[in-house]
A and B are shown apart, each in its own frame.
Chain A
Amino acid sequence: MAIIERPSTEIAVAGGAPSGVKPSEALGVFKRPAASTSWKDWLVTVDHKKLGIMYGVAAFFFFIVGGVEALLIRLQLAGPEGKILSADQYNQMFTMHATTMVFLFVMPMVSAFANYFVPLQIGARDVAFPRINAFGFWCWLFGGLFLNSAWFLGGAADGGWFMYAPNSSTLFSPSHGIDFWVLGLQITGIASLTGAINLIVTVLNMRAPGMKLMRMPIFTWMTLVVQFLLLFAMPVITVALFLLSFQRSFDATFFDVAAGADPLLWQHLFWIFGHPEVYILILPSFGIVSEIIPVFSKKPLFGYPIVAMSGAAIGFVGWGVWAHHMFASGLGPVSVAVFSMATMAIAVPTGVKIVNWIMTMWGGKLSFTVPMLFAIGLVVQFTIGGLSGVTHSVAPSDTQQTDTYYIVAHFHYVLFGGAIFGLFAGFYYWWPKIFRKQLSESIGKWNFWLMVIGMNMTFGPMHILGLQGQPRRMQVWTEARAGEGFFNIGFWNRIASLGSFILAVGVLLFIINVVYTHKSKKVAIAPLDPWDARSLEWMTANPPVEHNFDSIPTVNNLDEFFHRKYAEDPNTHEVRQVATAEEVLAELNAHPDEHIHMPSRSYWPILVSLSLPIICYGLIYNRLLMGVGAAFLLLTMFGWAMEPSTAPDDDFDPPAPGEGGGHTKELAPLG
């Protein structure tokens, strides 16, 4: 599973049209796919950049799906005695909204950024196991589609996103919705686990010369921590999901109270996964803003080692707090006290980061571009969400707050105001590198402000609603029970629902921005380094060529790209620009590497992953189909294993400097 070489002549294209493509030699059973720029290329690619784009586009689609689910919920609660959704539909809606947002939007969007940028940030040409990377993507996509197919097949899962037992059993939830949920998450879980192994090995083993761990950009650091969290947390939910599916499909007794089972087992298993999961959701956005704030403050990140280490600390301590989701479940005072203290402790490394970001901005030359606005938005809104989190850590007060809208407010502040704002910051920041154009700043500002206003108007009142007693998952409210006074439950629900539509308009503006930027002829192609950035991913073409770097840079500093553009005068200590981005790139490409080995395209990843939903549909409907799926799995795995991981030597020489526009590269035939 090392870097795979191709035995044929091919043309690797990064934007132009291919002028002629020779099919590859026959290897294994069928011919290995040859290069092209058609849609077929996307099905067989193993290029981390293409996979990143695919993750991003698909994840954004699911963001809209989850957003529509949210808007339906808010419509239902926009007035008294809402009739938009029946109770059963409502249960499905909040379950799927959360499941979609967590597993099908934030996690894959994080994968999108990590896949695209981690190899570039460390000066590598791809990840350690490119075919497994592709396999992970297809598993995730098929799992997400499988999960959502439940909507059309008798109803979606309806047990809430943490699917508490025994409510999740067939007795209380007889439709197949939960089966789709369980199996769909198992399939997507494969993507997370294999992605974790891939990225950990990549970051540990494939860094450019001189790229010590303490010279890596913070986004890569946070990604590394997150992969370790995924690595160890995914198996726990895998166990929980297996136990639940064995109960639902084979009548095992794991959560059957009559047989003596303990529903708390599910809660422990789920939250041992679930708490690291929320750090998995937020740390990458912390990484993104740690890149953005220094660039737009024209200052290096304050306390880089502390920021890196506090991320690791959050990851580590995060394993010890899971039962704070269970304070009201009857654990007993000793357990509650232990977990309460651990939860208070974890606020410390997070607070440290907030301080570091603020200190980075302090005294800096700030420019409030849209990425910077979203980054600052994260800092402010995550702090608010973190503060409500600290109130949860106080177990007695959590006993009132738990299962109310106060909790809903908390996690939407940290997840939407934190994680999602970070992702939007990343969109605006890295868009020119990926897609060659900068998104419009003016539309972007409308996008940002409407999202801020919408977000705070939606989730701010939820703190009050929670304290007024509105429980989670409440399907409908009535005027009679909305409480006394003007500012009662009814009032705040109306405000929150209005806010959600303002938020939706804000998100819509992002889509409009994308469409406008790419359709408009007036928007110019972006320069190589539009933001005057600091890290290696900017030291590439727009977009980067397939092999990322003509020559792998040698790294001598943290913020290596910055140090190539700027130098400090030893006498006056004045920092002056000594080279432009274009000059730095030209110098890097002046002596291109020889014998570049790139991984080859392959159709096995998509084929192997296709077998998984077949097996799962079979498990639900028809055991024969399951057998067919299993056979297909074995055959395709065998085919993959037979595909050589190292084909005969296939050298790739970039053109000499001055030749070509740096976009089309011809592979030299074997001598």
Chain B
Amino acid sequence: MADTALAHGADHGAHHTTTGLSNNKLGMWIFLGSECLLFGGLISTYMLYKGRVSTGPQPDQIYDIPFTSVSSFVLLMSSLTMVLAVSSAHRRDDRNTNLWLTVTALLGATFVGGQVYEFTAFYREGLGFTTSLFGSSFYTLTGFHGVHVTVGIIMLMALVGMVRRNRIPGSKAETVELIGLYWHFVDIVWIVIFTLVYLIPS
């Protein structure tokens, strides 16, 4: 009876599904597909409005490309550490999983810190949320992205806690992988934002 229970329990990581694919993973990819429409709308709003500045600073006057480049690099590297976390999770290496998850969260927090610094600098230079169309659209787009990163950091830290307490039943590796997918998505949105918003001046 114990053996059957164990064997049965071992199956729970991979439910039988019609496609053979995990429900959770399918759900996450579908969700990310829909997020493309969300960020697409915010980016389009920004692209439409950035050139229609009536008051306040213009994009090419206010951006600090060197600073933002470093921020972008930090976020990019956090994708690497995330992938290493997933890899450790697949090897059932809890210690390294938590190590890389924590580093990813720290890099993410650094990125968010950079964003906050950047926003306050822009504000001091005269670009507020309500100053102009550029201001409203810029802060909304990058703000949404920043909130997504922050939510990601919270999920990473929660994951670290749950891994430590062995609280994730079933396939732990899959949960890490799914949060990894979310994290990489947030990174690729930034790849697009960095190019379209920062590097292409108005």
Which residues of B are found within 8 Å of A671, using beta-carbon distances? 1, 5
Inter-chain contact A205/B18, CB cutoff 8 Å: yes
Give the distance in Å from the alpha carbon of A261 to the alpha carbon of B137 in the complex: 11
Q: Are B140 and A246 in contact, with the CB atoms below 8 A?
A: yes
8 Å CB interface, A448-503 against B: none
Given contacts A197-B30, A235-B38, 16 further A-B contacts (CB under 8 A): A1-B23, A204-B18, A235-B34, A238-B41, A242-B140, A252-B136, A253-B135, A253-B136, A254-B45, A254-B137, A259-B55, A260-B53, A260-B132, A261-B49, A638-B158, A646-B12
Q: Does A239 contact B (CB under 8 A)?
A: yes
Q: Are B21 and A261 in contact (CB under 8 A)?
A: no
Give per-residue flags for A184-212: 1 if the beta carbon is below 8 A from chain B beta carbons, else 0. 00000000010011101100111100010
Residue contact A232 to B37, C-beta cutoff 8 Å:
yes
- List the A residue with the shortest CB-CB distance to B9: A649
Cβ contact within 8 Å between B140 and A252 = yes
Known: A207-B18, A239-B38, A649-B5. A262 touches B48 (CB 8 A): yes
Min C-beta distance of B30 to chain A, whole Å: 5
Contact between chains at A238 and B38 (CB < 8 Å): yes
- Residues of chain A within 8 A of B132, CB atoms compared: 253, 259-260
B55, B133, B140 interface centre (most CB from chain A within 10 Å): B133
Would A243 and B45 count as touching, CB distance under 8 A? yes
B37 touches A252 (CB 8 A): no
Determine if B49 and A3 form an interchain contact, defined as CB atoms under 8 angstroms apart. Answer: no
Instruction: Assess the B133–A260 pair: CB atoms within 8 A.
Output: yes
CA A205 to CA B18, docked complex, whole Å = 5
Top 6 nearest A-B pairs (CB, nearest first) are A239-B41, A235-B38, A205-B17, A235-B37, A252-B136, A260-B52
Given contacts A206-B18, A254-B137, A262-B48, contact A128 B5 (CB under 8 A): no
Q: Is A626 an interface residue (CB 8 A)?
A: no
CA separation between A468 and B149, bound complex, in Å? Answer: 56
Residue numbers in A under 8 Å from B49 (CB-CB): 254, 260-261, 265
Whether B34 and A193, one on each chain, are in contact in the complex, defined by CB atoms closer than 8 angstroms, is: yes
Question: Which of A204, A253, A265 sits near B48, CB closer than 8 Å?
Answer: A265
Q: Which of A580-639 contact B (CB under 8 A)?
A: 595, 638
Q: Which bucket holds chain B's interface residue count?
A: 35 or more
CB neighbours of A232 from chain B (8 A): 33-34, 37
**Cα–Cα, bound, A431→B95 (Å):** 56
Q: Is the CB of A243 within 8 A of B23?
A: no
Residues of A within 8 A of B45 (CB): 239, 243, 254, 265, 269
Closest to A207 in B: B18
Q: How many residues of A contact B (CB 8 A)?
A: 48
Bound form: Cα–Cα A646–B168 in Å = 9
A206 to B15, CA, bound (A): 10
CA distance A207 to B129 in the complex (A): 49
User: A128–B18 Cα gap in the complex (Å)?
Assistant: 12
B24 within 8 A of A: yes
> Is A2 part of the binding interface, using a Cβ–Cβ cutoff of 8 Å?
yes
Contact of A239 among B23, B42, B170 (CB under 8 A): B42
Against B, the Cβ 8 Å flags (1 = close, 0 = not) of A258-276 are: 0111100100010000000
Q: With the chains together, A595 CA to B140 CA distance in Å?
A: 50
Report yes or no: A231 in contact with B41, Cβ–Cβ below 8 A. no
Whether, in the assembled complex, B54 has its beta carbon less than 8 Å from a beta carbon of chain A, the answer is: yes
Q: Which of B146-183 contact A (CB under 8 A)?
A: 158, 167, 169-170
A253/B133 contact (C-beta < 8 A), A235-B35, A236-B37 known: yes
